[in-house]
Structure 1
Amino acid sequence: MEVWYGAEQVPASLSEPGGPGAVVTIGIFDGVHRGHQAILERVVERARQWRPGPAPLAVAVTFDPHPRLVHRPQEDLPLVTSLTDRLVSLEALGLDAVLVIAYDLDFAAQSPEEFVRTWLAGLLGARAIVVGDDVRFGRDNAGDAASLEEIGRQCGMDVEILTAVSSQQGRRWSSTWIRQCLSRGEVRQACEILGRPHRLRGTVVHGLRRGRELGFPTANLEAATAGVVPPDGVYAGWLVRNGAVGGLQERLPAAISIGTNPTFDDVPRRTVEAHVLGRADLNLYGEEVGIELVEHLRPMLAFDGLEPLLERMRIDIEQTAAILGVPVPGPIDPEEVTAQ
């Protein structure tokens, strides 16, 4: 999948006479949840089945930063996914390209018609546009599904409006719902809405190295930079390496601890720590990794001494292995730890 950061990176041949053009959708796609997936899959389907003439590209237009962060910077809006993981998820759905538009107040001042004619019809040569029925665009979000259909007719583009896709409970899939679930530690429900585990992202930093000394080496992320972090506790999940667009991913089973360790009194900040099951040789310092959360195991607890803590950590690892469907690893000798 190609990623175009701005209009200057879009091939001119896309919209030239005789060029392939595009089937396009627009949105933030925060989380790329199941509702987004229904729209994006339809974009790909229409592009692949296009007749007659050359097949258009399946293209998503997204924005960075999130518009709410530009218009209401005083509000706290934790994003479900980083731009990196958003692009990875879009790629997995089979898109040919994503146009990432730098969102600022000048861009936001465009009228709905100006946006469609300049960016979709003009720049991308859109033959068709597929959006959800809640689409909003243009200055003051004045553009909606009805106005998009009208502008599309004027520009000779077909506009397809998809009705909301809902869960079995009848609730519309949404990024807001995901944030609510994560705020309560309901990572399994968040997985259901996303159609995959929720992923945190950050750079591995040096911790206190206590895990190494105990035989449970961990990769440490600063929680403040990791994304939407659920409440303190221990979770089963995966550590994901090399998760950028076009890269090969390595997913390693991990027991994940979030918070400050209450058994000790020298953990000054909230952190995300991932112990990769059975591995003592990983050198991850300075590497950007993803942490996928599959299931909540337990709250963060204070233990009366080291032995109860170690016994509970062994149980955590056994439960993590069972949930992820991987073998239970043997104990790690602290003397064998060479990295993390």
Structure 2
Amino acid sequence: MTVFHRNETREPLPANLKGGVIAIGNFDGVHRGHQSVLTRALEIAESRGVPALLLTFEPHPRTVFNPDRPVFRLTPAPLRARILEALGFRAVIEYPFDRTFSQRSADEFIHSILIDWLGASEVVTGVDFHFGHGREGGPAFLMAAGAKNGFGVTLMDAFRDENAEVVSSSRIRALLAEGDVAHAAGLLGYRYTIEAEVVGGEKLGRSLGFPTANMRLPPEAELKSGIYAVRFRTADGKLHDGVASYGRRPTVTEDGAPLLETYVFDFSGDLYGQTCAVSFFGYLRPELKFDGLDALVAQMRQDEAEARTLLAGVRPISEIDAFLCGGA
């Protein structure tokens, strides 16, 4: 799948991608609510024999308008693109979003992007999608523009879960902040997954018999500190179960920066510098300060046993979950 980073050079879209069905939105999380929009776009594209494309915006608009409080991204752009490819999208268009772009009129957005550049035959988005300066473009504006300019518009109502609550990225972020990765998976439709480069550490885990792959999450990450049962994907796609600790390591440091440390079961090798993925299956316990390393090692052995037991019985909850975390 191709990822286009649109810029002002107006590089033309390849002819085989023009005239497609365009799903529009931020799609941070690609959760079940987003999937209802995406599935509908794919269905329309297949019925017409045209490509399905996704138009999104980078960085997240909320981060642009409030840079001091950047949005905790559930799925960074590269991971989101791989999920969308697995779903069946032919291309992702990551349009650069800045304050200058936000000042463009809704009419200019319609003509310069949807019509002139993409040649959209159908636009699929949520009923809450707004665009253009001052959010002047909304559902009625989009529908009228489609009728006038020859493209269809499909608006999807907010998707609700089994308790009739709207599935949203903010709900999922709140659950992750509580460590409730199981409930978050129910809203995402797959296990919450992060990707990051494996970095060097103090190698204390190795000296204790628990070597770890260390990753730094972005400062705005709201994942609760604690110990998790996880599945680890190496850069070459191989999967291993593991147990991960996220936090500041109070037993060994007074003021450590937050770090995700994963003890990867049944693995030996050098992962430094590789971009790997960690999928979260269960929260085991909070981060604790132990009275010495012997007590820490005893607890780590118990954590490993609990994680192995939990992970032994897991099954994929969706095709996306199987794609990210494996089929067993």
Query: Where does residue 286 of structure 1 map in the other structure?
Result: 273
Query: Where does residue 33 of structure 1 map in the other structure?
Result: 31
Change (3 A) 1:211 1:9: farther
Residue among 235, 248, 256 paired with 2:244: 256
- Count matched residues: 312
8 Å contact 2:62–2:70 — kept in the other structure? no
> Whole-Å Cα distance in 2 between the matches of residues 254 and 11 of structure 1?
43
Asked if 1:74 is matched to 2:68, the reply is: yes
Change (3 A) 1:223 1:181: same
Quick one: percent identity of the two aligned structures? 34
Asked if 1:240 is matched to 2:238, the reply is: no
Local SS of the residue matching 2:194? strand
Report Cα offsets for 1:222-272 as digits up to 9, x if no partner.
2446x6341211001122233xxxxx6333211000112222236632211
Query: Where does residue 13 of structure 1 map in the other structure?
Result: 15
Report Cα offsets for 1:274-324 as digits up to 9, x if no partner.
110122x22111122222211100011222333332222112112111222
Q: Rg bigger for which structure?
A: 1
> Whole-Å Cα distance in 2 between the matches of residues 9 and 236 of structure 1?
45
Change (3 A) 1:105 1:78: same
> Whole-Å Cα distance in 2 between the matches of residues 97 and 167 of structure 1?
29
Residue among 292, 295, 299 paired with 1:305: 292
8 Å contact 1:14–1:124 — kept in the other structure? no
Asked if 1:95 is matched to 2:65, the reply is: no
> Whole-Å Cα distance in 2 between the matches of residues 127 and 201 of structure 1?
34
8 Å contact 2:173–2:222 — kept in the other structure? no
Q: Kindly provide the amino acid, as one letter, of the partner of residue 3 in structure 2.
A: V
Residue among 253, 256, 265 paired with 1:268: 256
> Whole-Å Cα distance in 1 between the matches of residues 269 and 140 of structure 2?
54
> Whole-Å Cα distance in 1 between the matches of residues 92 and 241 of structure 2?
30
Change (3 A) 1:66 1:98: same
Q: Kindly provide the amino acid, as one letter, of the partner of residue 238 in structure 1.
A: R
CA positional deviation for 1:173:
0.9
Change (3 A) 1:157 1:237: same
Asked if 1:114 is matched to 2:116, the reply is: no
Query: Where does residue 201 of structure 2 map in the other structure?
Result: 207
Report Cα offsets for 1:22-70 as digits up to 9, x if no partner.
10111111111111111111111111111xxxx2210000111011111
User: Does 192-201 or 69-78 show the bigger shift?
Assistant: 69-78
Scaled by the length of structure 2, what TM-score is found? 0.89
8 Å contact 1:14–1:125 — kept in the other structure? no
> Whole-Å Cα distance in 1 between the matches of residues 16 and 145 of structure 2?
21
8 Å contact 1:200–1:229 — kept in the other structure? no
CA positional deviation for 1:127:
0.7
Change (3 A) 1:282 1:326: farther
> Whole-Å Cα distance in 1 between the matches of residues 278 and 222 of structure 2?
10
8 Å contact 2:240–2:266 — kept in the other structure? no
CA positional deviation for 1:123:
0.9
Query: Where does residue 178 of structure 2 map in the other structure?
Result: 184
CA positional deviation for 1:200:
2.2
Query: Where does residue 2 of structure 2 map in the other structure?
Result: 2
Which runs of structure 2 are paired with 1:119-158 in the superposition (5 Å)? Answer: 119-158=113-152
> Whole-Å Cα distance in 2 between the matches of residues 10 and 192 of structure 1?
40
Local SS of the residue matching 1:110? coil
Could you list the structure 1 runs, at least 4 aligned residues long, displaced by more than 6 angstroms after superposition: none
Query: Where does residue 334 of structure 1 map in the other structure?
Result: none
Local SS of the residue matching 1:283? coil
8 Å contact 1:4–1:10 — kept in the other structure? no
Residue among 318, 321, 327 paired with 2:305: 318
Cα RMSD after superposing both structures? 2.0
